[in-house]
Amino acid sequence: MGVTRVAYEADGWGVGELWLDGDVVVWHELPRSAIELQGRPVAHPYVKLLQRYFAGADVNLSDVPLDLEYETPFLERCAHALRAVPRGETVTYGELAALAGSPGAARAAGSFCARNRLGLFVPCHRVVSAGGLGSYGSHGLAYKKRLLELEGATL
């Protein structure tokens, strides 16, 4: 089966994209307000989950199958450990590395988060630096803070 692009709109957030191989998420772009939805929206169950998430509902995205085959064993463990961090909670890069079985590999955990291509399905916004929120790549710190506030995290 080929990879399919599914665009979705989240009220107040903008337009995001899912890339699916069947029902396996291979890529997720978080919504941005500068992007316009092209064509008709697709009624995929994951779109409904994401729209509910961005509306503030407590939805479980940890059961959605993901393509993690490209990852090293350590980075795959990071992904699984991060998917287990509950909504509204945060961990530091060092804690994520320890949860993935490699205490002391905080920089590697940070590199994993920096190149995360699975958006909310591997919620790197829940990873903070030991001294503050840290960064959030091209989306910026304000977007990360908004996601954490949506989840009820104490900042």
What does DSSP assign to residue 18? E
Domain covering 73-150, topology: Arc Repressor Mutant, subunit A (1.10.10)
Catalytic residue positions, numbered: 124
* pLDDT exceeds cutoff 60 at 139: yes
Indicate the SS3 state at residue 117: coil
Q: Rounded CA gap, 144 and 142, in Å? A: 5
pLDDT tens by residue, 77-110: 999 999 999 999 999 999 999 999 999 999 999 9
pLDDT (mean) for 110-114: 93
* pLDDT exceeds cutoff 80 at 63: yes
Domain residue limits, the chain: 3-54, 73-150
Instruction: Determine the pLDDT at residue 90.
Output: 96
Model pTM score? 0.87
Residues 6+ apart with CB under 8 A from 35: 14, 15
